[in-house]
Amino acid sequence: MLKELQEKKTKFLKEAEELKANRNEWNSKASSFSKRRDELNKKTKELIEKAQEYRVKRDEFNGQVSANKEKRNELNEKANEVYSRVDVLRKKDATSSGRSLNELRKEMDHLEFKQQTEVLTTEKERALVDKISELKEEFKKKKEQLEQNQELKGFLGEAQSLRDQASEFHKKVKENADLAQEYHDKMIECFREADKTRAEADAQHKEFVKAQETADEYHKQFLKLQKEVRDFDKVIVGLKKKTKAEKETKDKVEYKKQAEDVFAQFKAGEKLNTEDLLLLQRSGFL
């Protein structure tokens, strides 16, 4: 029975070592998944922070766009007021006819805005450019005609000055709008990349959880076998003690019987050797 128990214990120890190796392997995998997840989460955080920086820049340039638009519009409004006064004076001039400079300017502004903001076919854009060129030529001729009147010439100079100033602010509007769009695109790209790395981090976390659960299960089985081995040890130790005690008892009985036989020989007058005398002495017969 003792041999059978020892064989089972050896078998369980071998299985426990296999479970321990599997547990360590899956713990190592879990550690790798955890490390990769943390790296991706760090990268995601950095991308979001960078995107926020781009957002601040975008908003700053959008603020400049709004401020320059306001100044541009104020100057254009003043120019339109001057052109309106020109129209009033023009109507008094019997030699002046056709559309007013204000009307021509508004139509040119409208078409130029359309050219800048809409996606057009090559054919439509060419037609639009031709139309703007015609309006500019008409505007130029109309202006030259009106400038023959010195009073109108003064107003036209004032209006043109206001328009030139408005154009400068319009350039700033476009420059800042382009920069705002550039930072907006960078911000969107960072957020998109952050979403991607976050998804990768989530996937790594799922793999980490699976690996950790597998490692925990192997560890649970390992602990269970260790308990079995300890239980076997207790039984084996108990059996060994029992076997030893039984052997000692058996040895004592045999020793006593041997001593009794020698003592009987002694009483019968037989000659005893030194070992026989020591045996009788140890057994209490002498």
Over residues 63-74, the mean pLDDT reads: 96
pLDDT at position 95 over 60: no
- How far apart CA 164 and CA 170 sit, in angstroms, is 10
What's the mean per-residue pLDDT of the chain? 87
Centroid of chain to Cα 78: 53
Q: Say what the alpha-carbon torsion angle 211, 216, 221, 223 is, to the nearest 10 degrees.
A: 140
Three-state SS for the chain is CHHHHHHHHHHHHHHHHHHHHHHHHHHHHHHHHHHHHHHHHHHHHHHHHHHHHHHHHHHHHHHHHHHHHHHHHHHHHHHHHHHHHHHHHHHHCCCCCCCCHHHHHHHHHHHHHHHHHCCCCHHHHHHHHHHHHHHHHHHHHHHHHHCCCHHHHHHHHHHHHHHHHHHHHHHHHHHHHHHHHHHHHHHHHHHHHHHHHHHHHHHHHHHHHHHHHHHHHHHHHHHHHHHHHHHHHHHHHHHHHHHHHHHHHHHHHHHHHHHHHHHHHHHCCCCCCHHHHHHHHHHCCC
Of residues 13 and 254, more confidently modeled: 13
**Which of the residue ranges 7-21, 148-162, 209-223 has the most confident prediction, judged by mean pLDDT?**
209-223
pLDDT digit string, tens, across residues 107-153: 888 888 788 778 888 888 899 899 989 988 888 888 787 777 777 78
**Interval 173-182 mean pLDDT:** 95
Residue 275's pLDDT is 79
- CA gap 100, 267 in Å, rounded: 162
pTM score: 0.62
Least-confidence region, from 3-12, 124-133, 257-266? 257-266
Tell me the C-alpha distance between 31 and 37, whole Å.
10
